[in-house]
Amino acid sequence: MRIRLLSTLVLLSLVFACKQNPQSALPTLAETTEGETIYLGTITKGNLNNNTYTPWFEPAYENFQVPEEWIKQHKPLAKKLEFIILMGTWCSDSQREVPGMIRLIEALDRDDQLKIYALDEFKQSEGGIEKTWNVEQVPTLIVLDKGEELNRIVEFPLDTLEEDLGSILRKEPYKHAYALD
């Protein structure tokens, strides 16, 4: 009787622990046409900081430094904003830019308002998130205010990530690399 009760309590605690931390779920793993293991779907920084699948993330993340003055100037402007990154773990542009994007969002204390989606090598997802946000190039960083898009950085910054994101946060005119005039 005691063993059954103990087993039930352990099982219930495991169920509740899993429900309280939805980010502990493993992302979907897939292979590119060349056999490279990649992530698909919703992922976290923790997934990217996994040397098994993304050995490029940690060095790029650690080397990206956010100037204190930039943080002071832009943190109040980002107070109620949300961020979406659509990327490919297979993509060299994503490997180059996403660690810095995440660093900047963390510096703004908005990492709790960041969603990251990994697309396949055809820039598609099972849920169609790329269609929802009209994403054709990766990485794409979308800045949202109350669910409405303020602007985006597409594939690479025009100047630097800090300058481009700063322009968006200051609501200055900004057109990403693929914006049509």
- CATH number of the domain at 141, please: 3.40.30.10
Q: What is the tally of structural domains in the chain? A: 1
Residue pair 31/37 in contact (Cβ under 8 Å)? The answer is yes
- List, for residues 34-63, the tens digit of each pLDDT value: 999 999 999 999 999 988 889 999 999 999
Residue pair 129/122 in contact (Cβ under 8 Å)? The answer is no
Domain assignment of residue 37, yes or no: yes
Domain assignment of residue 139, yes or no: yes
Taking the model in full, what pTM does it have?
Answer: 0.85
Q: Which residues partner with 61 through β-bridges?
A: none
Closest CA to 113 of 78, 66, 150, 138: 78
Residue pair 27/40 in contact (Cβ under 8 Å)? The answer is yes
Domain assignment of residue 145, yes or no: yes
- List, for residues 73-120, the tens digit of each pLDDT value: 999 999 999 999 999 999 999 999 999 999 999 999 999 999 999 999
Domain assignment of residue 17, yes or no: no
Enclosing domain of residue 35: 25-169
| Low-confidence winner among 29-38, 93-102, 131-140 (lowest mean pLDDT) | 29-38
